[in-house]
Amino acid sequence: MSLLPPVVVVSGTGTEVGKTVVTAAVAALARARGDRVTVVKPAQTGEPPGGAGDLETVRRLSGVSSVRELARFPDPLSPEAAARAAGLPPLDLAAAAVEIKQLQAGADLVLVEGAGGLLVRYDPAGGTIADLAAMLDAPVLVVVAAGLGTLNHTALTL
C-alpha cells in the first residue's frame, strides 16, 4: 500500500524543467515498492497524433504500463492555445477530474503530469493544473530547474 496520497499532481515552474523524468522516478519507486501505479497526462502538447509523447518516456523509464493521455494537441503551446490552434475543443478539466477519480479504483497511486507550469491555461475560462489538483484534492509536487532564477520562479509558483 502506498504511503503517498492516492493522487499526486506533478507540475513545475515551466516547461522543460524535468516533470516527465520526476514523474517517471516517482512511478518507478512506487512500482518497485509493489504499488499499482497509473500515470495520466491530461493534455499533451507539441506532439502530433501517433507521436511518442511524455507518457512513452514515463513508460520507458519507470516500467509502468498503465498510462492514460486525455487530450493531445500538435502545437507546442499551452493546452488552451494548442486546442484553439488545432480547431479542437479544449480539455474539460471537470471531466478530467472525474476520469482520474475513476482510475483510482485500479491503482494505489495516480500520478497526474501537467503541461508547462502550474498556471498554464487549459481552457478559455483560465482553468489550470492547479484547478485540477484542487478538484482532485491532490497535493502538487513542483519540479524546478536548477539554475539562475530558480528561487524566484519557485517562490512565484508556490
Classify 134 in phi/psi space as left (phi over 0), alpha (psi -120 to 50) or beta: alpha
**Sign of the four-CA dihedral 146, 72, 88, 93:** negative
Catalytic residue among 19, 31, 41, 72: 41
Phi and psi angles of residue 13, each rounded to the nearest 5 degrees, phi first = -80, -10
Length of the chain as a residue count: 158
What is the rounded distance in angstroms from the CA atom of residue 157 to the CA atom of residue 53?
25
- Say whether 101 is catalytic: no
Please give the DSSP secondary-structure letter assigned to residue 73.
E
Q: How many CA atoms lie within 13 A of 55 on its CB side?
A: 23
The grid coordinates listed for 124 are: 478559455
Would you please indicate which residues are annotated as catalytic (active-site) residues?
41
